[in-house]
Amino acid sequence: MSHRFKAWPSWAAMFVVAVALLAIGSTRDSGPLNPGDRIDAISRRVACPVCDGESVFESRNPASEAIRAEIRASVYDGVATDDEILSAIANSYGGKVLLVPSSSGFDALIWALPAAGLMIGLVGLWFAFKRWRAEAAALGVPTEGDYDLVEQAREQHRGTSDD
């Protein structure tokens, strides 16, 4: 395929098509969640109060069944929002039943530390590349002799290639 076909205008056309598709798909109204899906979505965010590590959605414990029944009743009432239903459950059973930690106080660490980790990683990469570039600059521009030496080495190993 010619290089001309793969030139930047083709990329620009591709970009426009991709953005248009993303816009169509992400903004179209697929209607409200059906009650079953909404009950599932809320119950996934609530921990079973008596079993280890399971959400109300997964657990078949009677305590979880009771909470699911509360969620079902609230959803079919059609008055409260998801967050209001979750708040009501947290008030009844305590904050520890919510599977998403809050973003305040000590719990905020669980959100802040990954962000800090990402920043450390990016800054570390930035410093590493800065150092490597400085090292490369210090070596100066390769001479013709350097290129000849490398070319000789490549000639010697011709016939083998990387995978």
Lay out the site mask for another protein across 42-81 (x = CB under 8 A, - = otherwise): --xx-x----xxxx-xx-x-x--x----------------
Select from 129, 120, 45 the least CA-distant residue to 87.
Answer: 45
CB of 98 to another protein, least distance (A): 8
CB of 80 to another protein, least distance (A): 19
- The site that binds another protein (CB under 8 A) totals a number of residues, namely 70
Can you give the length of the chain in residues? 163
CB of 69 to another protein, least distance (A): 11
Region 88-117 residues binding another protein, contact defined as CB under 8 A: 95-101, 106-107, 109-110, 113-114, 117
Lay out the site mask for another protein across 129-158 (x = CB under 8 A, - = otherwise): x-xx--xx----xx----x--x--xx--x-
Helices (H), 6-108: 8-27, 35-43, 62-77, 82-93
Place of tokens 């059609």: 78
Q: Tell me how far apart the alpha carbons of residues 141 and 13 are, in angstroms, rounded to a whole number.
A: 39
Q: Tell me how far apart the alpha carbons of residues 52 and 41 are, in angstroms, rounded to a whole number.
A: 20
